Amino acid sequence: MDGATRDGYGAALLELAENPRLVVLDSGVSDSTRTKKFGSQHPDRFFNMGISEADMVCTAAGLATTGKVPFATSFACFLLGRTMDQVLVSLAYSNTNVKLVGTHSGIAVGEDGPTAQMIVDMAYTRAMPNLIVIQPADYEEAKQATKALLEYNGPAYLRLGRPKIKGIYNEDYQFQIGKGNVVNKGSDVVIFATGSMVSESLAALEELKEKGMNPTIVNISTIKPIDEQLIIEQSKAHGAVITAEDHNRIGGLGDAVLEVLANNQIFVPSKKIAVNDTFAQTGSSKQLYERYGLSSGHIAKAVAEVKNLKG
What's the pLDDT tens digit per position in 104-124?
999 999 888 999 999 999 999
53 tagged catalytic: yes
CB 2 within 8 A of CB 167: yes
- At residue 24, the 3 state secondary structure works out as strand
- Which tens digits make up the pLDDT trace of 211-253? 999 999 999 999 999 999 999 999 999 999 999 999 999 999 9
DSSP letters for 66-129: TT-EEEEEEEHHHHHHT-HHHIIIIIIITT---EEEEESBSGGGGGG-GGG-B-SHHHHHHTST
Residue 150 near residue 22 (C-beta atoms within 8 A): yes
Give tens-digit pLDDT for 120-169. Answer: 999 999 999 999 999 999 999 999 999 999 999 999 999 999 999 999 99
Same fold, 5-159 and 181-308: yes
Q: Which of 18, 53, 233, 305 is catalytic?
A: 53
CATH classification for the domain delimited by 181-308, as one of 1.10.10.10, 3.30.1370.110, 3.40.50.920, 3.40.50.150: 3.40.50.920
pLDDT at residue 182 greater than cutoff 70: yes
CATH class of residue range 5-159: alpha beta
pLDDT over threshold 80, residue 311: no
Percent of the chain scoring above 70 in pLDDT: 100
- The ranges assigned to domains in the chain are 5-159, 181-308
**pTM over the 0.85 mark:** yes
